Each structure stands twice: as C-alpha cells, then as structure tokens.
Structure 1
Amino acid sequence: MERDITLIAVFAALIAALGLMPTLMLASGVPITAQSLGVMLCGTVLGAKRGGLAVLLFVALVALGLPLLAGGRGGLGVFASPTVGFVVGFPIAAFATGFVMEQLTRMSVGVAASIAAAIGGVLVLYAFGMFGFMMVLSKGFGETFAILGWYLPGDAIKVVLAGVITAGLARARPASLLSRA
C-alpha cells in the first residue's frame, strides 16, 4: 500500500517535471509539451489503476492552483481554456494506456508499451482533447482536427519514447513494471 502511494506521488511529480521542459505554444492555444509522455508512462509502468490515480493526483493539484501544467499554468481557469479536454482526459488516458498494457502480456514490453501509449495516450486523449477544444472555441470537428492534427507527429515520437523507456525499465528493474505484475 505504501509503495503504491509513493509511486503514485512520484509519477505525478514526473508529469509536473515534464512540464518544466520548454514548451512551444502554437496559435491554437494548445502547447506542445512533454507532459503527455508522462501520462503514457504512468499507464505503461504503473498499470491502469495506479497510473490513473497518479494522473488524477496531478490534475487535482492543478485544480487547486499549483502551476504544474506546461508554461506554469494551474488553477480553475485551466478548465475554461482550449486545453480543458486534454487536462480532463489525462487520467482516463493513463488508465486506458495501463489497461491496454495489462492486456498485451504476450507481446514484448516495448511493443506492448508503444501500442498502449498510442491507444490510450493518443487516441483516448485526443478524443477528450478535441471535444474540449471544440466546446470552448465553438469549432467543428474538421476544423478542430485540422488544427490539432499538427500535434500528431510529436505524439508519435512520444509513443516510441514510451515504448523504449518502458522496455529499458523492464530490463533494468523488472519488478518495477507494475503493469506486468
């Protein structure tokens, strides 16, 4: 139990730390950040339950006003911005990533982590992110996809990184890969 709580807190801190990396703000109002990589890693390493809880803790801290999102953003105003769908979708994406990872036990860790990150960390996250973007900015699906589609190449790189990092962790410390426990 204590180990789970510690890992949840550590991975919430990892997402916050990835927000410190330089961001690139596009005209859409949605920044390019490394934080979605942290969401993917929460699922691939911790599994569905722990990964979802780690990201839920991170989102709760943001809601309380801590400036943990990329660019030092935090507080309830984030939930009225074009990024609201992504922020709300973070815990669900981590859970989905972990769930897929837990199901792909017959595949190598790296391949399974990449597939899980693509499904949970991109497809699920974009479903929420696009919906929030469309609602806040009153945009249609086509226009929203045309704007947010520019982010997909970077997310593809994050999917590969999630696979490589998770596989490396599995080789170095197999017992730490809780999504396979």
Structure 2
Amino acid sequence: MSTRNLVLSSLFAAIIVALGMLPPIYLAVFAVPITAQSLGVMMAGTVLGAYRAGAAVLIVLVLVAIGLPVLSGGRGGLAVFAGPTAGFLLGWLVGAVVTGYLSEKLVNAEQSGLVQTVSFFLACFIGGVVTVYFFGILYLGIVGGTGISKAFLGSLAFVPGDIFKAVIAALAGRAVMAGYPLLPQRA
C-alpha cells in the first residue's frame, strides 16, 4: 500500500472513530444501537473506493480488537466481536468494499452531478445498508439466537436512519468528486 493510500485510509478510519464519539441511541426493544459510524463507512466507500475503504474499516476493527474504545459508546475489545453487533461490524468491512466498488463502477467524471449523486446513493444503499444488514441480521439471527425473521423485523426500525445516512454519504461523495476528484485515481 502506498503512503498516499495509507494516509487516506487512516484519515477515514479516524473519521469513523470520530463519528463514534456521538452517543449511541438505543431503542428500548433492541440491543443494537443507532450510531453515526455507519455514515463514515459509507463515506469511505464513496470517496476512497473499494480497496482503501476496506483498509479504513479494517484499521478501525483492529483498533477495536486491541481494546481501544473507538466504537460508539466507548466500546472496544474482543468482547465486542461476541456481542449482538458483531455481524454489523463484519458487515462494515464488506459494506465499505461493496460501496467503494459500486462507486468506482457507477460514477465517472463525465456524468452530470445529479447522476453522480444518485449513483453514489445506490452504491451507499446497496453496500452500506443492504450488505451491512445482511451480515448483521444473519449473525443476530443465527449466532444471537433470535431467528432470522425476528432479527429482520427488528432491524427494519433502523432502515430509515441508514437511508438518511446514505443520502448524506452520497452528497459527500459528490462534493469530494467535484472538489477533489479521488475517484479516477483510486488504487
């Protein structure tokens, strides 16, 4: 990995961690909190592309694993990977890569701003919402013992907020593409 790629991945890892400083919102019925960190995952994908976004999330997950309190609510340590959010954390890694890959394939400099924004949104929705939820629901349903259908129905309460985050990430991706176009230079 080049120095530039490492710096950009580390910068977005720091953004994801900083978004974790916003306090989590727990809904009374669910063990999984609403956090702003998934916004950082989607933004990393739209701005950095698959490879660097995956590296950014991997850096965050390594920081969590070594015990640093970088997740929302000051959580960290290996125990997090045994809790109800573990599937969502794995989903972050895959979701960032999927979001980045789709951003690379769907968005180019010749498109209008509207088409770029909609394409970024689709990448964020598929990678940052559908993919992350797939892993999170699967883990929660099977390993967490709640059952897939219960986990799916319980997760529906979080979808509107994540769609809103996808819109914000799409707008951020479009703004970065217009002001500092990293997309064509992705490694």
TM-score (norm 1): 0.94
Match 2:150 to one of 143, 168, 173:
143
Counterpart residue number, 2:69: 67
Q: Which residue of 1 aligns with 2:118?
A: 111
Does the C-alpha gap of structure 1 residues 109 and 180 become closer, same or farther in structure 2, counting only changes over 3 Å? farther
CA distance change for structure 1 residues 9 and 29 in 2, over 3 Å: closer, same or farther?
A: same
RMSD (CA atoms): 1.6
Deviation at 1:180, TM superposition (A): 6.3
The residue that corresponds to 2:50 in the other structure is 48
Contact 2:104 2:183 in 1 (8 A): no
Deviation at 1:179, TM superposition (A): 7.0
2:84 is matched with 82
Residue 120 (structure 1) aligned to one of 109, 127, 130:
127
| Aligned counterpart for 1:153 among listed residues 160, 164, 180 | 160
Match of 2:3 in 1: 2
Question: Per-residue deviation at 1:171?
Answer: 1.8
Contact map agreement 2:140 2:148 (CA 8 A) in 1? no
Distance in 2 between residues matched to 1:86 and 1:157, nearest whole Å = 18
Which deviates more, 18-27 or 78-87? 18-27
Q: Which ranges of structure 2 fall in alignment gaps of 5 or more residues?
A: none
Q: Structure 1: how far apart are the matches of 2:54 and 2:184?
A: 13
What is the rounded CA distance, in whole Å, between the counterparts of 1:142 and 1:28 in structure 2?
A: 14
How many Å apart are 1:136 and its aligned residue? 3.5
The percentage of counterpart residues that share the same residue type is 45
| TM-score when normalising by structure 2 | 0.91
Look up the equivalent residue of 2:12 and give its one-letter code.
Answer: F
CA deviation profile, 1:9-49 (whole Å, cap 9, x unmatched)? 11001000000112201231101011001111111100001
Distance 2:140 2:185 in 1: 31
Measured in 2, the distance between the counterparts of 1:139 and 1:119 equals: 24
- Count of aligned positions: 180
| 8 Å contact kept, 2:21–2:73 | yes
